[in-house]
């Protein structure tokens, strides 16, 4: 009889501030290792989009909209999609209006409790394993993940990356607000500026995306040994 324990699906948890490269890195790691991919920020963004659509403004109104919402998240790293109450908002959640208001939604305690539970369910159902990224994955959503990384980068590099991504659509002051002010607001409810115990810090300021992916894949391979 085989007495070897069945290996658990691998969970890789990545946190970090805006523009540190979480989404691109997590997708790259998921592709390389054949795992699913979960962008938890997209869930907060979809809720912010729905709160705006329904005119929810107070924390109570926002919490009511989020807890009643049907959220559908697909976890293919090549085509991650998100729908809320039947509307696919994959593209809309990247609009500057959503970036400007999402922290108001993400800082409502009931919203966090609700979305953390949904994220834990998605992670638990990922039979081939998953790379999940956000602000509180290493500390709250998946604190027992065998691979936990805090991805950081200097503020100037993060603003420059976001600016390059958004191009002509927004000016530097707007991008700085989206990155620096949002991090300040978000860090009131999640700890992503300092690594929790056992979390590996990777500084991407002077690393290419491929180099960052390589490092995390190596950490995953070490954890699997």
Ligand X SMILES: Nc1ncnc2c1ncn2[C@@H]1O[C@H](COP(=O)(O)OP(=O)(O)O)[C@@H](O)[C@H]1O
| Residues of this chain that bind ligand YYY (CB under 6 A) | 18, 22-23, 40-41, 44-45, 102-103, 106, 134-136, 182, 186, 190
Interaction partner, residue 223 (ligand YYY, ligand X, none; CB < 5-8 Å by kind): none
Residue closer to ligand YYY, measured from CB, 14 or 35: 14
Contact 189, 210 (CB under 8 A): no
Lookup: tokens for 214: 């390589």
169 is in an annotated binding site: no
CA distance 137 to 142: 5
Contact 207, 156 (CB under 8 A): no
Residue closer to ligand X, measured from CB, 67 or 205: 205
CA–CA distance from 80 to each of 42, 75, 89 (Å)?
Answer: 10, 5, 11
Pairing of strands 130-134, 11-15: parallel
CB of 150 vs ligand X, minimal distance in Å = 11
Where are the strands (E) in 135-214, listed by range? 147-152, 200-203
Residue closer to ligand X, measured from CB, 54 or 176: 176
- 16 contributes a contact to ligand X by CB under 6 A: yes
Interaction partner, residue 138 (ligand YYY, ligand X, none; CB < 5-8 Å by kind): none
Helix (H, G, I), strand (E, B) or coil at 145: coil
Nearest CA-CA partner of 71 in 89, 53, 59: 89
Residue closer to ligand YYY, measured from CB, 18 or 33: 18
- CA atoms in the 13 A half-sphere facing the CB of 195: 15
CB of 201 vs ligand YYY, minimal distance in Å = 17
User: Residues 155 to 214: which contact ligand X by CB under 6 A?
Assistant: 161, 165, 204, 207-209, 212
Interaction partner, residue 40 (ligand X, ligand YYY, none; CB < 5-8 Å by kind): ligand YYY
For residue 203, list its beta bridge partners.
152
> Residues marked as binding for ATP?
16-24
User: Residue numbers of the site for ligand X (CB under 6 A)?
Assistant: 16, 18-24, 161, 165, 204, 207-209, 212
> Residues marked as binding?
16-24
């Amino acid at each position: 009889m085989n007495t070897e324990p069945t290996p658990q699906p691998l969970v890789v948890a990545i946190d970090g501030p805006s523009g540190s490269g979480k989404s691109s890195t997590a997708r790259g790691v998921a592709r390389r290792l054949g795992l699913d991919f979960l962008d938890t920020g997209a869930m907060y963004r979809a809720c912010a989009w729905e709160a705006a659509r329904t005119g929810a403004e107070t924390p109570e109104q926002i919490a009511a909209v989020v807890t009643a919402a049907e959220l559908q998240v697909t976890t293919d790293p090549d085509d991650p999609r998100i729908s809320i109450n039947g509307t696919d908002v994959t593209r809309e959640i990247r609009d500057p209006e959503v970036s400007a208001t999402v922290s108001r939604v993400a800082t409502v305690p009931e919203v966090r409790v609700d979305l953390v539970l949904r994220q834990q369910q998605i992670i638990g159902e990922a039979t081939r394993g998953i790379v999940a990224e956000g602000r509180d994955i290493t500390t709250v959503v998946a604190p027992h993940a065998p691979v936990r990384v805090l991805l950081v980068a200097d503020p100037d590099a993060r603003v420059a990356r976001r600016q390059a991504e958004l191009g002509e659509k927004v000016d530097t002051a707007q991008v700085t607000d989206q990155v620096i002010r949002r991090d300040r607001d978000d860090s009131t409810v999640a700890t992503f500026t300092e690594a929790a115990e056992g979390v590996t810090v990777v500084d991407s300021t002077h690393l290419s995306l491929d180099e960052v992916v390589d490092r995390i894949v190596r950490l995953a391979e070490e954890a699997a040994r």
